[in-house]
Amino acid sequence: MIRSVIVCLLALLSIPSNASAQSCVGNPVAVQVLGSGARANDRASSSYLLWIDAQARILVDIGGGAFLRFGQAQAKHNDLSLVAISHLHPDHVSDLPALLWLTHQDQARKAPLPIVGPSGNDVAPSFPTFLSRLFDEKTGAFQVLGPTLGATPPKRGGGVRLDVGVVDVTKAEPSIVFDRQGLTVTALGIPHGDLPTLAYRVQTRDVSVVFSSDQTGTTPRCVEFGEGANVLVMHLAIGAGATSGLQAAPAVVGRVAQEAGVGRLIVSHIDLFDLDAAIAELKKFYTGPLTVGADLQCTSVR
């Protein structure tokens, strides 16, 4: 009796909250939410995978908890074509050292891993400076990860070698950040308070997916960049009736998706607010297919 109770408790503990553990393998193109949360600790923070056939090819953001979800999704470092970072808030990037902390004995990845992030300003360093502050072999916080930026690997540790790119968030037009292996990825600066932030659009085969990240949704560019996407992932970060200088209200999320004419809207980055009320407000402005994000949830892109 006691043993069976313990087994049941262990089984319950092994099920991650808000994690539906769906597999994306078997879809031609699919979006998997690795982290559907922000600061609430019952979801991993922001992170997404774009799957093509049986490979996770693009990772967008890697907030706290997302590295565990990356493993649970059975994604592989070797399959990644690009890591795209939207901005440098912890809920979007804090698991990056964990992702890269692989030893040479792991044989996880020998080819450089393309990674791209935003330019800097007074309130945030540029992405290359951010990486140097983390991983520089002499001055970084994680000196042992110096080889990620080209230092000669020590006998132990080392990390995944990075091929670093940066996008000027002040550019008016989208920048191409990756264009090979059947994938075209563009990035565009979007309004998220003072913090340099990028939205990403992926085109592959005959479908497109837009990852809008945190933004106020207050410029026409937000709609234009998402125009006609098969799937738009947008952040529902504040509740109904709330206002923020950083995040779009539910009504704005709905309006952007509606005006962009997307095939499906996935809302994510869900925090401590009344989700039902926020969805109800969003639906007053958006009438198309809607998915409410959950960790490890997979959505086929058609």
Cβ proximity to Zn ion: between 148 and 268 the closer is 268
268 contact partners, CB below 8 Å, separation of at least 6: 33, 35, 36, 46, 48, 233, 234, 235, 236, 293
Burial tier of 213 (Cβ tally within 10 Å: 0-12, 13-18, 19+) = buried
Q: To the nearest whole angstrom, how small is the minimum distance from the Cβ of residue 61 to Zn ion?
A: 8
Cβ proximity to Zn ion: between 228 and 245 the closer is 245
Q: Which two tokens stand for residue 241?
A: 């009736």
Cβ proximity to Zn ion: between 208 and 268 the closer is 268
Contact region with Zn ion (CB under 5 A), list: 48-56, 104-112, 188-196, 210-218: 210-218
Interface residue with Zn ion, options 61, 91, 95, 136 (CB under 5 A): 91
Burial tier of 207 (Cβ tally within 10 Å: 0-12, 13-18, 19+) = middle
Contact region with Zn ion (CB under 5 A), list: 28-36, 161-169, 214-222, 281-289: 214-222
CB-CB contact of 198 with 211 (8 Å): no
Collapsed DSSP state (helix, strand, coil) of residue 72:
helix
Q: To the nearest whole angstrom, how small is the minimum distance from the Cβ of residue 193 to Zn ion?
A: 11
Q: To the nearest whole angstrom, how small is the minimum distance from the Cβ of residue 92 to Zn ion?
A: 6
Q: Note whether 271 binds Zn ion by CB under 5 A.
A: no
Cβ proximity to Zn ion: between 214 and 281 the closer is 214
Q: Note whether 214 binds Zn ion by CB under 5 A.
A: yes
β-sheet bridge partners, residue 165? 116
Contact region with Zn ion (CB under 5 A), list: 91-99, 100-108, 126-134, 199-207: 91-99
Q: To the nearest whole angstrom, how small is the minimum distance from the Cβ of residue 213 to Zn ion?
A: 7
Taking the C-alpha atoms of residue 270 and residue 275, their distance in angstroms, rounded to an integer, is 8
Q: To the nearest whole angstrom, how small is the minimum distance from the Cβ of residue 70 to Zn ion?
A: 18
Q: In terms of Cα–Cα distance, which of 88, 90, 48 is closest to 211?
A: 48
Q: To the nearest whole angstrom, how small is the minimum distance from the Cβ of residue 197 to Zn ion?
A: 9
Q: Note whether 95 binds Zn ion by CB under 5 A.
A: no
Cβ proximity to Zn ion: between 95 and 214 the closer is 214
Per-residue mark of binding to Zn ion, 11-40 (x: CB under 5 A)? ---------------------------x--
Q: To the nearest whole angstrom, how small is the minimum distance from the Cβ of residue 189 to Zn ion?
A: 16
In degrees and rounded to multiples of 5, residue 158 shows phi and psi of 135, -60
Contact region with Zn ion (CB under 5 A), list: 74-82, 86-94, 102-110, 142-150: 86-94
Taking the C-alpha atoms of residue 219 and residue 43, their distance in angstroms, rounded to an integer, is 29
Contact region with Zn ion (CB under 5 A), list: 20-28, 105-113, 209-217, 253-261: 209-217
Cβ proximity to Zn ion: between 65 and 158 the closer is 65
Strand locations in 119-243 (E): 162-167, 175-180, 183-189, 198-204, 207-211, 231-235
Taking the C-alpha atoms of residue 142 and residue 99, their distance in angstroms, rounded to an integer, is 13
Q: In terms of Cα–Cα distance, which of 81, 241, 85 is closest to 166?
A: 85
User: Alpha helix (H) ranges present in the chain?
Assistant: 2-13, 66-72, 90-93, 96-100, 127-135, 220-226, 250-260, 275-283
Q: Can you give the binding site for Zn ion, defined by CB under 5 A?
A: 38, 91, 214
